[in-house]
Structure 1
């Protein structure tokens, strides 16, 4: 019985130490873009640094709605290097907005949720 407990403890500690080899430090997890124009896509760039010891790989990036397109660093990010996640928001509706982007990596067990917010203003054409 004690052998099973010791084996389980060793396995758990081993998995925990592996999980901490890759870590990400985000420059900002929430970006307020202020005022943006209606129907003009606005790119918001979230920067991060791999502060761990092994490569970080982004496996999925998902916007909270169809109005937010995403792009991200596709190659493994080496220890000490930086990467980006870009969320391009195409605002159709006027007023305040808050949108999220979920980023899945090999460095964290749950996706990191990044937030972008601002206010969409109407564009009035003179003429």
Structure 2
């Protein structure tokens, strides 16, 4: 009887040990990172995220997916033995974004208690000038018909901002600004671009200008549009 009892207890212990053998994903330092106040010159923002397997079985990281294309997050290894760590090299390109920017990284693993872990990133981007929207959007373009698009340029710095040395492409792109323009702190200006397409297809343009801002010495704005043939030219 005693022998059977001991064998039964050993079986129970073995089953229990198997049942509780599992991986566990833990992010060292917490599930978020804040760069605080940053400027355009700080871009791309970088940090390293350390992942540790605090369980007692192998941890398999099956996917690491940032919430947008402006963020990259390569992982140095995806299989972690108990107690082992891995590193995600995070890089965030702030681009034309201003103010508080929040992004996430979704980490998927074989952790049975938490198969998906969300790591949160944030940064308060301070810019001397904000362009909104970030590009010229030309809608319903037709051959031979002039179309226009407007963006707003705002001085979000604490000093006057002077814009000068404007260049553009194509050469026949018309702008309502050709010389210099000085914006007071908080002041904005609507830049209007006009173009008359000469052929159907995809149209793109760009405008570049210099500023006297140390942090943002140049503003570059792209423009896009799809041009269709004019009904006048089609009805021959």
String of CA shifts for 1:77-123, please: whole Å, max 9, x gaps: 11111112232110021111111000011224531110011111227
Where does residue 121 of structure 2 map in the other structure? 116
- Normalising by structure 1, report the TM-score: 0.75
Instruction: Name segments (4+ residues, structure 1) moved above 6 Å.
Output: none
Report the structure number with the largest CA radius of gyration. 2
Q: Please state whether the residue corresponding to 1:60 is helix, strand or coil.
A: strand
Greater RCO, 1 or 2 (C-alpha within 8 Å, sep 6+): 1
Pick the structure with more strand per residue: 2
Taking only aligned residues, the RMSD between alpha carbons, in angstroms, comes to: 2.6
CA contact 1:44–1:86 (8 Å) conserved in 2 = yes
Where does residue 50 of structure 1 map in the other structure? 53
Given candidates 104, 107, 111, the residue that maps to 1:103 is 107
CA contact 2:44–2:93 (8 Å) conserved in 1 = yes
Change (3 A) 1:56 1:110: closer
Alpha-carbon deviation of 1:75? 4.2
Given candidates 36, 39, 44, the residue that maps to 2:38 is 36
Unaligned runs of 5+ in 1: 1-12
- Normalising by structure 2, report the TM-score: 0.43
Where does residue 62 of structure 2 map in the other structure? 59
Q: In the alignment, does 2:24 pair up with 1:23?
A: yes
Unaligned runs of 5+ in 2: 1-14, 129-212, 218-236
Indicate the larger mover: 95-104 or 82-91. 82-91
Q: Distance in 2 between matches of 1:56 and 1:110?
A: 11
Alpha-carbon deviation of 1:49? 1.4
Given candidates 74, 77, 91, the residue that maps to 1:71 is 74
